[in-house]
Amino acid sequence: MTDDDHRDERRRREHASSGGIGMTGRLEGRTALVTGAAAGIGRAIADRFVAEGARVVYADRDTAAADEAAAAANTAAAASTAAASAAATNGAATGAQLALAVTMDVASEDSVVAGFAAAADAGFAPDVVVANAGIQLFGHDAAVADVSLETWERTLAVNLTGTFLTVKHAVRSLLARGGGGSVICTGSPTGLNGEGATFAAYSSTKGGVHALVRSTAMAYAGHGIRVNTVVPGYTETGLVSTIAGDAEARAAIVSRTPLGRAGTPDDVTGIMVYLASDESSYATGAIFRVDGGMTSL
């Protein structure tokens, strides 16, 4: 793990030890699959879902990291359950498994199919899917005249094709269960405004994700399947620190954020819980911006 990953992990532990944000069991009875769940925003989403009572599939191409994340979530959930049970009955109890790790490379349809099958075989067929996995090839992505075809194709393979494959098989899985459910995709300000002028490949993929969400939402609304996008702004994770690793770069990004600060993964997880729950039963085809006002400029 990098120093930034360790910092993200410390934040998660501090968040859990303080009782989290409004942990009220809003997702009890839900099963979710989150891609890119081994680190960063994806892990924060998956951890928050577990804390809210959901059973969660931690899907990631990094098998070891996904295993570690799911194991940590199960340990935390068991400790919380045991403490609550001991307080209520003066005894100890162990909760059921709430987190499952599966290997999934979203750029490979075979891997996506295998991941959904593994989840279903383990009794974790999801009714909520978060298509969060993505890459940004810092140092290679650039303004359009300077982007190599290799960088373009790799970025599309993960960010747009990967989201398409995740959404495709999420919808198939939900239809096989009779419809209903929620699909949530992670977008970006770069797909909405000129913020990504020097990231032509990444910006294009995120614009494509936003369009995919709208078309899918309209196609399957009659089946009760809701599809929405969450757009995080500059969020402090190990990945994003790559473009803002020094104080000057960070200050420049924050200066374009009306709320005047960087976001945290916890800023994003709340809207994800809302969209995964029945609280958002009338929301589909929408873009939910959690960017400190960046895309309002």
Residues 35/61, Cβ–Cβ less than 8 Å? no
pLDDT at 21 over 60: no
- pLDDT at residue 18 tops 50: no
- Give which of 253, 264, 242 is closest to 297, Cα–Cα: 253
Handedness of CA 281, 287, 293, 297 (dihedral sign): negative
Cα separation values, 91 from 77, 81, 104, 290, Å:
17, 11, 39, 42
Q: How confident is the model at residue 85 (pLDDT cuts 50, 70, 90)?
A: low
Residue 82 confidence (pLDDT): 72
Residues noted as catalytic:
188, 202, 206
262, 254 Cβ separation under 8 angstroms: yes
Q: What are the residues facing 278 on neighbouring strands?
A: none
CA atoms within 13 A on the CB side of 148: 7
**Most confidently modeled of 2-11, 129-138, 237-246?**
129-138
Q: Where do the structural domains in the chain lie, given as residue ranges?
A: 3-296
Backbone angles phi, psi at 127, to 5 degrees: -110, 0
Residue 84 CA to residue 48 CA, distance in Å, equals 18
- Report the predicted TM-score, pTM, of the whole model to 2 decimal places: 0.88
Taking a C-beta distance cutoff of 8 angstroms, is the pair 66, 101 a contact? yes
- At residue 150, the pLDDT reads 98
What's the confidence (pLDDT) of residue 8? 53
**Listed ranges 95-109, 230-244, 274-288; the one with the highest mean pLDDT:** 274-288
pLDDT at 289: 97
- For the cut 60, the answer to whether the pLDDT of residue 7 exceeds it is no
Could you tell me which residue, 13 or 277, shows the higher pLDDT? 277
Tens digits of residue pLDDT in 100-142: 999 999 999 999 999 999 999 999 999 999 999 999 998 899 9
Q: What is the mean pLDDT of the chain?
A: 89
Mean pLDDT to the nearest integer, 167-178: 98
What band does 24 get if pLDDT is binned at 50, 70 and 90?
A: confident
- Using the predicted structure, report yes or no on whether residue 255 has a pLDDT greater than 90: no
* pLDDT value at residue 167: 99
Measure the CA–CA gap between 115 and 120, rounded to whole angstroms.
9
Least confident of 19-23, 30-34, 156-160: 19-23
Q: How is domain 3-296 classified at the architecture level of CATH? A: 3-Layer(aba) Sandwich (3.40)
